[in-house]
Structure 1
Amino acid sequence: MALLLTQAAATSSLVSDRSLKLRTSLLLKTTNLSSFEKRAPSAMAFSIGVLQRLPTRVATPGRIVCAVPQGGKVPVAPSELEHAMRPPTNLYTVDSPHTATVLSVKKISGSNAPAETYHIVLVHDGSFPHWEGQVFGVMPAPENPFEPGDTEMLRYFSGASSRYGDYFNGRTVSLCVRLVPGTTSEILCNSKPGDKIQLTGPTREAMILGDNNPNATHIFVATGTGIAPFRAHLGRFFKENIPTFTFSGHAWLFHGVSNEDSKLYNHEFIQYRKEYPENFRYDIALSREQKNSSGGKMYVQDLFRRHATEVLVMLLKGAYIYLAGRKDMVTPIEDALGDAATEIDKDWDGILATLKKNNQWRVEVY
């Protein structure tokens, strides 16, 4: 649960003394300290102490800040979040949404990215339990100038933090949101600490781990903000000190973005790769800055093709693969694996059918 959060100001960047005090005050006000202290008094005291000691720095233009503590694992709480055998589903609906409070909004794309992307932390005070990989609906508020109060325009966003949140105390959830003018995403990206956001869910299970065995192999493929559920999983694997779960398997992340300034959470993934080189591989495709084998743009599916045979062997040995983001990457990835199967005299159609039957092939695209 301990905070140690470089996302706020410990490494960074965009937090002034005034906004830091507001965030600290907001987190403490929206956290039920009396009941939480009974469960984890020393951890809560440590968290508050770190909140009060967070340093600030002058913003550096174009700098993308790592949103996790540097070095070592962080204790998490409450331990009850590990007890559920099934993910919590549809706890809140459009008729009865949960009202969360905005804690922070940070732009995590650089100035030369073709689109603005924001990391948004919401306080739910422990009332919105979820698992890594689940999706949340954001309800248009009545004053939303674009979609005023229309529940048919409910927008869905994958959680970008683990069940413990960015503050490791089970009280927050984070979203990774690409700003699209004229939609609810613009309302989210322009929100301020203290604003209220209505949530539905959590829902969907495609991006939840297919196997919680700590020795399992997981292959993550994302485009853009499709990185959100994988950031949640990787934080659980490599950042959080969970007494009942220690990841000793293998995770491989492929991420496709436009250019260097479009990288999302890159510092976190580099940190994990440095600290756990035997357990984590990280490859990124920059479509506007790199070329594929044909001289065209390097999309994530082109990068994936280079490693398709190796991935196929992993899948045949029981690995799980997850595709999140743009749907136009799915067919090329299937084709790449099909070609790899042909090279080793395997029937790809039969393999794919088996992967789907075993829940090893998991897709959530748009």
Structure 2
Amino acid sequence: MNAPTEAAVIKQHLIDPEICIRCNTCESICPVGAITHDSNNYVVDVDKCNWCNDCISPCPTGSIDNYRKVLRIKAYSLEEQLGWEELPAEIPSSELAAMAGDAAAQTVSDAVPEETATPEPVSDPSGQTQLNTSALGATLPPWSAAHAYTNLYGPKSAQKTVTATVTGNVRVTEVGKTAGGDYDTHHIVLDFGSMPFPVLEGQSIGIIPPGLDAKGRPHHARQYSIASPRNGERPGYNNLSLTIKRVLEDHAGQPVRGVASNFMCDLKVGDKVEVIGPFGTSFLMPNHPRSSIVMICTGTGSAPMRAMTEWRRRLRQSGKFEGGKLLLFFGARTQEELPYFGPLQSLPKDFIDINFAFSRTAGQPKRYVQDAMRERAADLALLLQDPNTYFYVCGLKSMEEGVVLALRDVAKAAGLDWEGIAASLKRDARLHLETY
């Protein structure tokens, strides 16, 4: 006979605050809304978590893959977790047994909680059920992707950080009324000298800003996607580049000075930066030479797309590029705020098919990346059916649903089985979502 529920020992899902880089991947992908955060930590609600493990693979650092066995009635609350600087120590089995009693100790289980919260379907104003877009994104890399190295440097690695030297810092957006002067975006090149730092297109790194936060503690690392290909911004050198926008207001329009973004945008050549990582094992480009890539991004979400495009361009120059399409949908408020606008215009049209979308051009109707996608419905319908085509979405979280809905509409308009296609996009690691 099982022990009473209130005496049961459970496996409580927890996030390690020491290695979490606060990238929001886990919260955005959790299908039951069990993960939340404050300015300090990301935490898991024991009453909601059903151990579906959807958050495990996408986590770039492995911080999400942690638990502690605890007495159910003494499970760690959200308030406790939000105040942690490190995970609590394991409770010895003998102590758990004493707490729960012999009968309860025999029921120690790795099973999910007996009662879990099931989210109600959400409907839009038309009465149609909205997509759970996060559940559609792949958690594994394409089958032909190169092997990614991760967590070479970090709080729980042999070496905590690696020091990189700034070898370039160039503004890549125009100055104008809509650019807002200080709301600039920079292309920053970091060199690692003799320290090994292998990366792939689609990976990211963590930057640790100098100084202390409001509580007198060292700043948490900020995550940035790598904007250069695997052989470096400057080929043959141990370097990489980042695309960073200076943050002076939050998503609600409230004034805020981004600690890391302002630090990075103000760097001079020769300055030093503390780096951890690299991170990411799923948002990787395919290596199959005939694979096609559809890239959908906004703003600095262009960083991994630039990396993929540049690697393909270098392969083409070397004669190793055998085909496959590159199709880019790139959105911003105005042309002036679009990173790399000039260089993108100079790329050969037979190499990459570029579609811009601007939502705040004076005298013009608002146009978003999903609008540009619908205009290319015929091409996208063919690519959705092609098992060698991979889709990458990167930018603000608010764009994710619109993009996936556009893909759904394209499929349905072409008479395709969207449910079957959506399942294959996830199963075959063809749809990758990285939004924040």
1:93 counterpart letter in structure 2: G
Distance in 1 (CA, whole Å) between partners of 2:239 and 2:372 is: 34
Distance in 2 (CA, whole Å) between partners of 1:333 and 1:312 is: 14
The answer (yes or no) to whether the contact 2:203–2:281 under 8 Å persists in 1 is yes
Tell me the TM-score normalised to structure 2 length: 0.59
User: Is the counterpart of residue 191 in structure 1 residue 259 in structure 2?
Assistant: no
Name the residue aligned to 2:191: 123
User: Is the counterpart of residue 352 in structure 1 residue 427 in structure 2?
Assistant: no
Deviations 1:130-182 (A, max 9, x none): 111101011122x367797535x210000011122221123211110010123
User: Is the counterpart of residue 88 in structure 1 residue 113 in structure 2?
Assistant: no
Distance in 2 (CA, whole Å) between partners of 1:123 and 1:90 is: 18
Alignment of 1:160-179 (within 5 A): 160-179=227-246
2:270 counterpart letter in structure 1: G
Distance in 2 (CA, whole Å) between partners of 1:262 and 1:200 is: 29
Select the residue among 359, 375, 384 that pairs with 1:287: 359
Name the residue aligned to 1:15: none
Q: Which runs of 4+ in 1 moved over 3 A?
A: 144-149, 239-245
Name the residue aligned to 1:110: 174
The answer (yes or no) to whether the contact 1:157–1:175 under 8 Å persists in 2 is yes
Distance in 1 (CA, whole Å) between partners of 2:411 and 2:304 is: 28
Query: What is the Cα deviation at residue 244 of structure 1?
Result: 8.7
The answer (yes or no) to whether the contact 1:160–1:228 under 8 Å persists in 2 is yes
The answer to which of 188-197 and 162-171 deviates more is 162-171
Distance 1:241 1:309, change over 3 A: closer
Distance 1:336 1:85, change over 3 A: closer
Tell me the TM-score normalised to structure 1 length: 0.69
1:255 is paired with a residue whose SS is strand
Distance 1:251 1:122, change over 3 A: same
1:252 is paired with a residue whose SS is strand
The answer (yes or no) to whether the contact 2:148–2:280 under 8 Å persists in 1 is no
Distance in 1 (CA, whole Å) between partners of 2:379 and 2:215 is: 46
User: Is the counterpart of residue 137 in structure 1 residue 206 in structure 2?
Assistant: yes
1:224 counterpart letter in structure 2: G
Distance in 1 (CA, whole Å) between partners of 2:215 and 2:264 is: 13
Distance in 2 (CA, whole Å) between partners of 1:146 and 1:238 is: 45
> Structure 1, unaligned stretches of length 5 or more?
1-83
Distance 1:297 1:140, change over 3 A: same
1:329 counterpart letter in structure 2: M
Distance in 2 (CA, whole Å) between partners of 1:147 and 1:195 is: 26
The answer (yes or no) to whether the contact 2:356–2:369 under 8 Å persists in 1 is yes
Alignment of 1:1-366 (within 5 A): 85-94=146-155, 96-112=160-176, 113-114=179-180, 115-125=183-193, 127-141=196-210, 143=211, 150=218, 153-180=220-247, 181-209=257-285, 211-239=286-314, 245-272=320-347, 274=348, 277-289=349-361, 296-318=365-387, 319-366=389-436
The answer (yes or no) to whether the contact 1:248–1:279 under 8 Å persists in 2 is no
2:165 is paired with a residue whose SS is strand
Distance in 1 (CA, whole Å) between partners of 2:214 and 2:190 is: 22
Structure showing greater radius of gyration is 2
Name the residue aligned to 1:35: none
Deviations 1:193-212 (A, max 9, x none): 12111111111134311x21
Distance in 2 (CA, whole Å) between partners of 1:124 and 1:240 is: 24
What is the number of residues matched between the two proteins?
274
- Identity value in percent: 31
2:405 counterpart letter in structure 1: D
Deviations 1:184-230 (A, max 9, x none): 11111111112111111111134311x21111110000000000011
Distance in 1 (CA, whole Å) between partners of 2:282 and 2:317 is: 23
Distance 1:322 1:235, change over 3 A: same
Distance in 2 (CA, whole Å) between partners of 1:147 and 1:216 is: 49
The answer (yes or no) to whether the contact 2:209–2:259 under 8 Å persists in 1 is no
> Structure 2, unaligned stretches of length 5 or more?
1-144, 248-256
Name the residue aligned to 1:13: none
Distance in 2 (CA, whole Å) between partners of 1:227 and 1:234 is: 10
Name the residue aligned to 1:78: none
More helix as a share of residues: 1
